[in-house]
Amino acid sequence: MVDKYNRNLGKVLYVFCATIILSLLVESKASSEETYKRAVSKNITYQDINSSNQTNELNQTSKKQGVLSVSKGSSQTMSVGPESFTTDINGNIYICDTAGGTIQIFSPRGNYKSEISLDKNIVINDIAVDSAGRIYIYDSIENLLHQFTQDGKTAGRINISSAKIGARGPMHIVGDKIYIIDADQRDILIGKITGNVLAAPSLEELAVLPDIGINAPSGRKYFMEVSGDGAAAVKISGTNNLIRNVKVPVSGVLSATFLKEDKKGNFYVQIERILNGELSLEVYKFDFAGQYVSRIDLTDKDYFFWTVRFMDVDDRENLYQFVPGKDSGKLNIYKK
């Protein structure tokens, strides 16, 4: 009788201990997942440069705090809005006011800070800012890359060969090199920063067809892959050319975009998928080892005007989203 009691007690203790251990593991896993919240959400006013009641006030209106110009097209003309944005090392946000010919700068809290007016002949199609605060503007119409100081003074300009670029993605800076991502997820070298001066790549550098993958500060290359069944994976290659796959823990994926690697080696990917019959836009964060860290759901998806960049990430692990909506822009900043 005592032996039977002891055996039953042992079973109870075993189940109890196993339950405790399992709950601790689940709790540990849940607590290890980072939570991001939308810390900043700002509406940014538009002015339509084709609107008759605003045309006469264009010069005055464009000087108001953080106003962005847009040109809503017709059956004969294309719509033009803010085509890109970026951030600097201090968390300031730079928005391309493509239709207005200016750069609108906002603080890390999303408040209007200043404006840089550029020559009317420069088309502001994309923007990047280096670690020293110098600003780079890509003009895809004239195939030019411009360099400016923080106060908008011209510091350099080079011609770009567009033959390799094709359908372009965003421009980005890695170390002292400036790239444009093409449709095949290759980094096309368009410029170099030599002693703070913008320089064109050499003929030898231009002759090289880059490997598939987007360069990152760690020396890695990242490449996104979406299979026919809606699964997504990040392919990572290092200096030893070894390739590893990191699966994105989600299904029903329509598109996947590599965003950035921060200074800790965390990397971020943007996912578009169908969820409950609707389009869902999400960002997934992984650590340097490829372990899933966090998912950030983006509620604003009204991308009325074309933009080359949906998201940006800084080295403090903050996420920035600028949505060029139909009636106004929306600046969102997500923080842990």
How does pLDDT run across 264-296, given as a tens digit for each residue? Answer: 999 999 999 999 989 999 999 999 999 999 999
Q: Which helix (H) or strand (E) holds 97?
A: strand 93-97
Judged by DSSP in three states, 24 sits in: helix
pLDDT over 70, % of the chain: 85
B/e letters for 124-147, b = 16+ CB within 10 Å, e = fewer, are bbbbbbbeeebbbbbbbeeebbbb
pTM of the model: 0.87
User: pLDDT-derived band of residue 42, with 50, 70 and 90 as boundaries?
Assistant: very high
What pLDDT, on a 0 to 100 scale, did the predictor assign at position 72?
84
Per-residue pLDDT, 314: 95
pLDDT score recorded for residue 76: 64
Alpha-carbon distance of 175 to 85, in angstroms, equals: 19
Average pLDDT of 81-86? 98
Domains of the chain with bracketed CATH: 34-335 (2.120.10.30)
- The predicted structure's pLDDT at residue 161: 82
30, 151, 167, 190 from 206: Cα distances, Å: 48, 31, 18, 8
Mean pLDDT for all residues in the chain: 88
Whether 102 shows a pLDDT value over 90: the answer reads: yes
Q: What pLDDT score does 3 carry?
A: 54
Distance CA 242, CA 153 (A): 44
Residue 201 DSSP class = P
